[in-house]
Amino acid sequence: MRAVFPGSFDPATQGHLDVARRAASMFDEVVMCVLTNPKKTGRLPLAERLALLADMTSDLANVTVDSSAGRLLVDYCRGAGIGVIVRGLRTLDDLEHELPMAQTNRHLSGIETLFVPADPAHAYISSTLISATTQR
């Protein structure tokens, strides 16, 4: 079975890598799909994020990297034959944000979402926090 791990990955973190590794142990293939988040100001160009993810996951034979812009995630999944969305959860705030999206995605497409709790060693790190601290 194929799964997608979507995100802006701007920048990719050790927490993202941890979720990707854990998902790779559960699925035949995991596609890390870089999406554009209109609520975030991007720091790294798309090509750089893709290259960084490819480098970070080079030891994971069943993890690939892709991007999608301007489409619903479920449309990307349908086109790619992907049946599961993987999402990492760091906090209850993440769950409150992710749960309605997971329910909507399932309603629209039948695609399930698997929530992977963050490793406590990485739970306090977010791309948004890293971007905010590096802009100074």
Instruction: Report the binding-site residues for ATP.
Output: 8-9, 16, 88-90, 98, 122-128
Phi and psi for 69 in degrees, rounded to 5?
-130, 140
Asked if 83 contacts 68 with a C-beta cutoff of 8 angstroms, the reply is: no
The yes-or-no answer on residue 58 being catalytic is no
The catalytic position among 2, 22, 90, 106 is 90
Annotated active-site residue 90? The verdict is yes
Annotated binding site for substrate: 8, 40, 73, 87
- How many Å apart are CA 127 and CA 49, to the nearest integer? 12
Q: How far apart are CA 129 and CA 126, in angstroms?
A: 5
List 40, 71, 97, 107, catalytic entry = 40
User: Is 127 a catalytic site residue?
Assistant: yes
Strand order in 84-89's β-sheet? Answer: 63-68, 29-35, 2-7, 84-89, 112-117
Please state the residue numbers annotated as binding site. Answer: 8-9, 16, 40, 73, 87-90, 98, 122-128
Q: How far is CA 85 from the centre of its chain?
A: 9
- Cite the active site residues: 16, 40, 90, 127
